[in-house]
Structure 1
Amino acid sequence: MIPASGLRLLAGFCLLGAIGAVVAGAFALQAGRHLGADYSALAGDIVRAQEDTAELRLELDGLIDHAHHAWHMDRITSLVERIPERIRTIRVGLARSEINAADYAPMLAELTQAEGLYRRLASTLDTLAPSVGDDVRQLNRLGHELEGSLAWTYSRLLQEVHQAAADQQRLMTWLSLAVILLVLLVAAALMLALVRIHRQWLSLRQLSVTDELTQLANRRQLWEVAQRYLELNQRDGGELSLLLIDLDHFKRINDRYGHPAGDAVLQAVAAEFTRVARESDLVARLGGEEFAVLMPNTGTEGGRRLGERLREATADLPLPGEAREHRLTISLGLATTLAGREALAQLYSRADRCLYRAKQNGRNRLEINAQP
């Protein structure tokens, strides 16, 4: 099973990845909308100018037959008067856009020429006498010339805008991918850092609750686990047994063979205790030659049987290195509590008194203090 700390770390990774994806997606969406709106507005201005130009052509085509109609001339005048404003709006839009000025410079030059034609056409409209055929024909010629120039220019400009919009969209796509990749890289780097920090924390935590020599649980871990079991027993009424173990005359091994040999013996004994104990039991080294076995959901009889197995296994254990000629025995003290009726310190004290009694009574034996 994944530990709670690992689940919290995994949840943090998922949250971080989700936030990064949302931020990158929002950036891409908003940037795309902004750029799309800019080019859409410019394209809309050009299209409206094209529509005016197309309508001007239609009105000019009917000019000869309807020159004497005031409303017809008013319509042509209105369309012509829109031309400078349309051109100005398009110039401003082009200047604000990201389109390379060199790409639309020829169209701007054409618009400048069209503005000259517009002034001539406007002057002709001001002095036009509809009854004079030459004036009407001159107006028609100038109007068609202006319309043709504007139609070509607007068409080319619209192509440039569409091309620029497509190029910008491709660029935006790549930028969005780059932002997403950057967010993922940052998230991955942060996750890696968090994993390393978490591993270091686990390593430090393991060191703080593990005996360095034997790799068994230390006194601190034994105390923490025992306290949890006592709290559980208060709710479910279970039993908890504690064995305290002391290696008989271990000082003789250190004095005769040296501390390195003594350390090797401690490691061998720790391995043997772990082998004999059950998976549910916690084997700990309390310090020096003192060990303990915490047995959850185990009464006095179960604790006694395990204690005897440990005593017999230790007596039969071949010792490593220079101490192989030596035979080792252990003394044990057992105490059991029911339903968390006493504090851990009391349980430990009773087991310790039993251990002392075992040593006083000749060692290599198990003494028991049943439930209080």
Structure 2
Amino acid sequence: MDLVAGEDQRELTRMADTKPRLSLGFSGRQLLLWISFLLLAGLSVIAITFYANYAQKQLDADYIAFSSEIVRAQHDGETLRQSSLNLLDHPRPLHQRQLLQALWVIDSRRMTIEQYLRRSKLTPNDTQHILEEFAQLDTLLQEAGAIALDVLEYPGRLDALHDLTEDIDNSLAYIYSELHALMIQGATEQQHIMSVMTQIIIALGALVLVVILSLLVAIEKILGQQSALEQLSVTDELTGLDNRRAAMTKARQTLMLGRRSGASISLAIIDIDHFKRINDQYGHPFGDKVLQQLARTLKHMVRESDVPARIGGEEFCLLMPDTNSQGAYELCERLHQGIGNMVILHDDDIVPLTVSLGLTTTHGQQDYDFDLLYARADEALYRAKAGGRDRIVVY
């Protein structure tokens, strides 16, 4: 009996000694878990705060609008140069108006891009040289505009005007080259930081699930911006056709192959007659619909190998590889009739639409040059307009 009682007493003593040790061990693990949680939570807060600030800063910068404006602006110098050459070769009121229009477009675009640049997150060190070049460009535009207004009365100033347009073109090339580099640099830095943030947020696990989701949205936006920028660089936004840059690239490639093989290549420039009247009478939104319907007609009627493109305003071009003058004329005649037969409705009214076409074809080795081919097609288009419009003229 005493032996049993002694054993019970020793067991109670062991249990009493064990309880504090068990309690102390549980508290230590709990403390470790809390410390670990607090560390992870602190890292999460830091990561979330940094990410939120960075994402807000980057997402506020509208790269799409800025980049698309830059892409469109890169065509302005070429348009100005072509207008200047036309005026130099043929001093006529039409070419004078085209030059003045090109100067006005460049000046308007300059002010728009300057506003984008001042609102952007770029530092003054990054943009100061560009803004200074814009100031110089403004001076050149004013000088060119002043000369262009009365150059027909003083033909001796044509050479000086042409020199100014070349200076303007060089200035534009420098500005948009620098802006393009800044956009690429900004996008690269953005991708790098987002990549680092991805690794940090994934390591935090479930505690930063919301941050991971935000990161995925931000990365998708960045990739979407890059994809949209690439698409903008080769596609006309309104019609979905190739833009001027894409058309020139494809034309030069086609002409290079054609020179080697000796295949005939034809180029047509298509201009909507009196398009300004349509815009003035029915409004620009309806004018956009007309351009879209004409683009659909072009895509439907041309062959798979042909390259239709919108090269500016109401002007389109059609590159026809491996097509001689007879085949090109027959295709253009079908296009001319097809466009003339288009049913364009405004409310209950049918709006008539006609186009003028200038067509040219390569014949000798010297013809496989895009600038020469384009100039000839443009000259033929000019004759079509001068001859009363709604017709095809072959150079």
Greater relative CO, 1 or 2 (CA 8 Å, sep 6+): 1
What TM bracket, shorter-length normalisation? 0.3 to 0.5
